Structure 1
Amino acid sequence: MTALASDSLDFLWPGSRILAVGDLHGDIGNTMLLLYGAGVVDEDGNWIGGDSLLIQTGDVVDRGPDGKRIYDYLSTLSAQAKERGGKIVQLLGNHDVMNVCGDFRYAHPAETMEFGGAAGRRQQFMDDGHYGKMLRSFPASIKVNGVIFAHAGIPSEFAAVGLGKLTQQLHEELADDCKLHNVRFYNEAMGLRTGDLFVAGSHGPLWTRVFSMGQMTKICEELEKALGILESEKMVIGHTVQESGNIEFYCDGRLILIDTGISRYVANSPRMLEIQNGAFFEWRLEISEQVSEGEPSVRGTKRPLNIPALKEPDSTATRTDGSAAGHEDKSDGSCRGDEL
């Protein structure tokens, strides 16, 4: 399998802003409302984000009933964004890969029926199925303006192989209806040491908790090692729901956790990260119930995060067209989140 072009995984974005949204877990309603609140789409769900870059860090599917609809919606929205100078990048999360490999333990029954039942769902996620083809084209991670975006984070041993090789190897694991994935999954489950780097395994960038749980000193040490290898300033990850329901940051703002439990089937806490002119902000969705008849009032509010701004990007890097209020840095303690 051919590796993705390096300039599609490591690039500068010249547009007005970069937005990153975490685990959506089958909730099309909160997904569209959050994008609307942040000015990415209009009331009809069409792209109005101009030259913005939107990164979805994986786990579209499972828990809620709308994963299929979200995949379809983001695919349509991506085409609109491209026409208007913007771009959408979707990364693979562990739940996306579970579905690709036929593990439907967390699938919502109503969503499975949309696929025509369990057999139809399995067919659609196979190599030649519509969603199987789609997801097998998604990368494991990208680097934009010096920031790494990944589902669960890139431990140093995986960072050492490089972004291109990481995605290439993940795609190889998922090829042939997950033949290599299943072999390595079995070996890992049985505790067999083969020396193979298992990108979709429990210690890899789709499943690891090394950046979201444990002692902060060790987390920051591993982060510094990984960022040094990747020549990056910061790492943005989802995967582990933050108990506060807010975007949190650690290690002097170099580690940013954006899984706030957006879905109503998780924590119903819609939040999204924005990077604008190197500064960091949190978008949150506020829904106020109206006393009189009519629809509830929905609006997005934006507040700055107390994260050091990005350095000016290196002008020689690849270029592509395709004290503020905020949460406290908790680097002196431990980091925990709900396991999902």
Structure 2
Amino acid sequence: MRMVEGAPVVRLRRAVRVALAALATLLVIVGTPSLAQHPQRIVAVGDLHGDFQAWTAIARAAGLVDGHGHWAGGATVLVQDGDITDRGPDSLKIIRNLQQLQKEAPRKGGKVVVVLGNHEAMQLLGDFRYTTPGEYAAFVDDQSAARRDRVYELNKAAIEAAAHAKDPKLTPEAIRAQWLAETPLGWVEHKLAWAPSGELGKWAARNPAVVKISDTVFVHGGLSAEYAATGIDEINRRVAAAMAAADDTPASILTGPLGPLWYRGLTGRDPDAEAERPPATNATPRPTIDQELTAVLAATGAKRIVIGHTPILTGIAILNGGRLVRIDTGISRYYGGPLTWLEIVGDQLTPHTVGRPAP
């Protein structure tokens, strides 16, 4: 049996419908909240190269962490633009803090993005030219000496053969002593951690080489027109595959001068990159840097690109009408540049500087 609603109920339903219609009209006039009305705060930090003190000073000054190193940035997006490792002693400390913040930030509505730098790729590829003793020492434990001895014994024949190829008169004792001197404690653990199957190698491979957040593209070295044309997703796919395979061939995206980890063509003419390109002719002249920048931004649908890799010790540089931003200011004590970070809120770009803490 159908129940008949009383007049008060009917009037209440009519009032609700009128109120909802009025609210809908108001939303059409005022508009719903948008990114433009509530712009996202992005903090971008350049190359750190093993300087944990500098990183901590920047992170605190930017309001990203509290006094205990935990996330305090709320809904901020932090982008660390690569090259955490090498040149300084405390790369592992920085990585561990960033890994922690990658877990903590989402709980507060924020995010931490670590862009892959060429020096992280070098670690995975076994290129330790710039790795410092402190970076190896960070991996030392009470089993390090025994592990190193086992590695020597397992590779003794090959080590002795390589040594004798240089000096046939070397005794086994001299060869061993030389190898130990060249292989500090922690080296074995460091190499294992950074291998493609190692904990840090896998972590680095998961980090993007190029990331676009709102209207801004972040990349470590730079984005050449050639790679920009392939698309960000394809670049990251190729980089991840090359990291998994430890591809260090000259044509690898990890080592090539046109690739996103090494490209310097947006900061000046890069002879290595130019050698990879077809020769310029009168019919096809080489585009200017500004023209290439225009092509890169068009290909990525971005307003600006933020890069590190090439130090500029005078501070963050906002160039080409705000379309190119260089944030590698030599933050590490190795370079002695200013401690800086870039804040992006909507279309407002604000460079910041904090004083270097005492050693």
TM-score by length of 2: 0.69
1:98 aligns with 2:122: yes
Matches of residues 137-176 of structure 1 in structure 2 within 5 Å? 137-176=206-245
Contact 1:19–1:272 (CA<8 Å) still a contact in 2? Answer: yes
SS in 1 for 2:122: helix
Aligned partner of 1:86 in structure 2 is 110
Distance (whole Å) between structure 2 residues aligned to residue 61 and residue 263 of structure 1: 10
1:27 aligns with 2:97: no
The correspondence for 2:309, drawn from 215, 230, 239, is 239
- The structure whose RCO (Cα within 8 Å, separation 6+) is larger is 1
Displacement after TM superposition at 1:198 (Å): 2.8
Distance (whole Å) between structure 2 residues aligned to residue 288 and residue 250 of structure 1: 29
Distance (whole Å) between structure 1 residues aligned to residue 295 and residue 132 of structure 2: 39
Q: Quote the RMSD (CA, aligned, Å).
A: 2.1
State the structure with more CA Rg: 2
Runs of 4+ in 1 over 2 A off after TM superposition: 12-16, 197-200, 286-289
Distance (whole Å) between structure 2 residues aligned to residue 243 and residue 260 of structure 1: 5
Aligned partner of 2:295 in structure 1 is 225
Contact 1:169–1:199 (CA<8 Å) still a contact in 2? Answer: no
- Which of the pair is proportionally richer in strand? 1
Aligned partner of 1:332 in structure 2 is none
**What letter is aligned with 2:305?**
M
Aligned partner of 1:70 in structure 2 is 94
Displacement after TM superposition at 1:102 (Å): 0.7
Displacement after TM superposition at 1:15 (Å): 6.3
Contact 2:57–2:356 (CA<8 Å) still a contact in 1? Answer: no
Distance (whole Å) between structure 2 residues aligned to residue 128 and residue 95 of structure 1: 18
1:257 aligns with 2:326: yes
SS in 2 for 1:29: helix
Deviations 1:220-261 (A, max 9, x none): 1111111111111111000011131x1002211100000011
The correspondence for 1:209, drawn from 247, 264, 278, is 264
Displacement after TM superposition at 1:265 (Å): 1.5
**What letter is aligned with 2:306?**
V
Distance (whole Å) between structure 1 residues aligned to residue 41 and residue 357 of structure 2: 27
Which segments of 5 or more consecutive residues in structure 1 lack a partner in the other structure?
A: 1-11, 189-196, 290-295, 297-340
Contact 1:115–1:124 (CA<8 Å) still a contact in 2? Answer: no
Aligned partner of 2:346 in structure 1 is 277
SS in 1 for 2:66: coil
- Name the CA shift for 1:15/1:69 in 2 (closer, same or farther; >3 Å): farther
SS in 1 for 2:288: helix
SS in 1 for 2:44: strand
TM-score by length of 1: 0.73
- Name the CA shift for 1:121/1:226 in 2 (closer, same or farther; >3 Å): same
Displacement after TM superposition at 1:26 (Å): 0.2
1:136 aligns with 2:160: no
**What letter is aligned with 1:208?**
Y
Distance (whole Å) between structure 1 residues aligned to residue 324 and residue 94 of structure 2: 27
Greater mean deviation of Cα atoms: 50-59 or 116-125: 116-125
Deviations 1:145-194 (A, max 9, x none): 11111001111100111111101101111113x0xx22x22xx5xxxxxx
Contact 1:24–1:263 (CA<8 Å) still a contact in 2? Answer: yes
Which segments of 5 or more consecutive residues in structure 2 lack a partner in the other structure?
A: 1-34, 141-185, 271-286
